Structure 1
């Protein structure tokens, strides 16, 4: 997995500071949720050089990407990655992995998660269950549903495309964290739900509120040399 940091803007400093870290599995490509203006302008120039018959389709794809980025940013999504993996029949299956934060509107995020995990334990038939993660208590929710799929203009005569997807969600928070962290995985490969559940839980288990790149403290680093004056003083004064 590739380690990634999620940041939060601090009004006092005006700078972005990492608040939690997580891993991204192999086979997933991250989308740029904050594309620079220069890149967008370059895409538009390239779009205008395409033949007329291809320009409309390319324009629709660009508009879809812009709309998706806007929607993801509005939902506090820190990361969105698209997965491409081979299926047993040689075809390629896709999935979308997102990591987002949900504010608790002044409530204690840890208590909210504990309440939801308790509700999941009391009602296992709802598709929810509590889970213990290295970073704390959370819950897993999963469902299969029918939804609109991208690829066709919903206003066309044929109407929007629809398909079945599997959606898995893990919610967790850390000690003192103001928000709930939500890891979600969606795929149209419903027959591979067990595999994608394992991927989702694997990502959730990498969540940490401690920078994994920070070297661990050395226990004896600050310990004075035996027999030194500093050691004698520490013995006398504790």
Structure 2
């Protein structure tokens, strides 16, 4: 994957299955950190002053736990977002992109068959530069991070908004899943726009190859235009 469409082309590693653009305010996590990199980060944290070291250590442990969980799932990209909230506090969200095999079946037919079904959560088709996609969103309960208040049994629960765009990738019979999750329910409309904007940047064509051929006019409806329109 390449989060900078049209970026530098490399000859190492497996060929990416898709390319994408990240919205402003999102920082991509390294899901495959090296042992040396983790050790260096731990060393830097240990050298911080007391209070700062404690906060950094908590963030470091959360990052380590998140990486372990995501590496057990077909998640290819995970980015954390932080934006101003309506109440003056920062609003956080998690954006992930995954490539899910469809078991050899036609991915478009698999998704189309879910529209209107009991398990679809209101799934509906949408038009994207790469073709048809399928949008679904829901508000659900989940375990909230943190330690339960004293005297409370069981973990604390909270509500989250979860939006998902599923895009069939016919060449590999895979389904590219773009998902955005946030606990800021009041900003659901804004985050839906972020989700759709990210989905519009998806492309199955190597943008570096286009750059090697030289810059040309931006085709209306293309991924390049979507990047410019949605992310500046």
TM-score by length of 2: 0.75
1:203 aligned to which of 198, 203, 208:
198
1:102 aligned to which of 93, 100, 103:
100
CA contact (8 A) 2:94 2:182 kept: yes
In structure 2, the gaps of 5 or more residues are: 7-11, 215-232
Which protein, 1 or 2, shows the higher relative CO under an 8 Å CA cutoff with sep ≥ 6? 2
Residue 19 of structure 1: SS of its match in structure 2?
Answer: coil
Superposition deviation, residue 172 in structure 1: 0.7
Partners of 1:16 and 1:157 lie apart in 2 by 51
| Structure 1 residue aligned with 2:65 | 67
Relative to structure 1, the CA distance from residue 183 to residue 129 in structure 2 (aligned partners, 3 Å threshold; closer, same or farther) is: same
- Partner deviation per Cα, 1:208-229 (whole Å, 9 max, x = no partner): 11122333869xxxxxxxxxxx
In structure 1, the gaps of 5 or more residues are: 6-13, 219-238
Aligned length: 205
| Structure 1 residue aligned with 2:14 | 16
Hey, which of these two has a bigger chunk of strand by percent?
1
Instruction: Name which one, 1 or 2, has greater alpha-carbon Rg.
Output: 1
| Structure 1 residue aligned with 2:85 | 87
| Structure 1 residue aligned with 2:155 | 160
TM-score by length of 1: 0.73
Residue 20 of structure 1: SS of its match in structure 2?
Answer: coil
Residue 113 of structure 1: SS of its match in structure 2?
Answer: helix
Superposition deviation, residue 111 in structure 1: 2.4
Relative to structure 1, the CA distance from residue 157 to residue 105 in structure 2 (aligned partners, 3 Å threshold; closer, same or farther) is: farther
Partners of 1:81 and 1:99 lie apart in 2 by 9
| Structure 2 residue aligned with 1:11 | none
Partners of 1:83 and 1:198 lie apart in 2 by 14
1:145 aligned to which of 140, 148, 164:
140
